Amino acid sequence: MPLPDPRCGMGRTYFGTSGIRGRVGEDVDAALALSVGRALAGEADSVVVGRDPRTTGPMLVDALAAGLTECGADVVEVGMAATPTVARSVAWRGADAGVSVTASHNPAPDNGLKVWQPSGQAFDQAGQDRLVERIESGSFERQAWDAVGERRPWDGARERHAAAIADAVSVDDPPHVVVDVGNGAGGVSIDALRRIGCRVETLNAQPDGAFPGRPSEPTAENCRTLAATVANSEAEMGIAHDGDADRMMAVTGEGEFIPGDVLLALFARGMAGAGDTVTVPVDTSLLVADALDAVGAETVRTRVGDVFVAEGAVETGAVFGGEPSGAWIFPGETLCPDGPLAAAKLVERVAEEGSLAELVGAFECYPTRRTTVDVEDKEAVMERVRGAVAERFPDAEVDTLDGVRVDLGDAWFLLRASGTEAKVRVTAEARDPARADALFERAEALVADAA
Task: Name every residue whose Cβ is closer than 8 Å to that of residue 177 and which is 6 or more positions away in sequence.
Answer: 193, 198, 199, 200, 201, 235, 236, 237, 238, 239, 343, 347
At 449 the three-state DSSP class reads helix
How many helices (DSSP H) and strands (DSSP E) are in the chain? 14, 21
> Do the Cβ atoms of 115 and 40 come closer than 8 Å?
yes
**Pick from 48, 37, 51: nearest CA to 76:** 48
**Pick from 59, 2, 8: nearest CA to 34:** 59
What secondary structure letter does DSSP report for 396?
S
Pairing of strands 110-116, 19-23: antiparallel
The partner residues of 240 in beta bridges, in order of sequence, read 180, 249
Alpha carbons 215 and 218: distance in angstroms, whole number? 8
Task: Name every residue whose Cβ is closer than 8 Å to that of residue 22 and which is 6 or more positions away in sequence.
Answer: 13, 28, 103, 110, 111, 112, 420
At 276 the three-state DSSP class reads coil
> Do the Cβ atoms of 110 and 70 come closer than 8 Å?
no
Q: CA dihedral in degrees (250, 253, 257, 258; nearest 10)?
A: -60
CB burial readout 355-387, b (16+ within 10 A) else e = ebbebbeebeebbbbeeebebeebeebbeebbe
> Do the Cβ atoms of 179 and 230 come closer than 8 Å?
no
The partner residues of 178 in beta bridges, in order of sequence, read 201, 238
The alpha-carbon radius of gyration of the chain (Å, integer) is 22
At 87 the three-state DSSP class reads helix
Let me know if 104 is a catalytic residue: yes
Q: Per the residue annotation, which of 100, 104, 216, 285 is the catalytic one?
A: 104
Alpha carbons 14 and 36: distance in angstroms, whole number? 12
Residues with catalytic annotation? 104
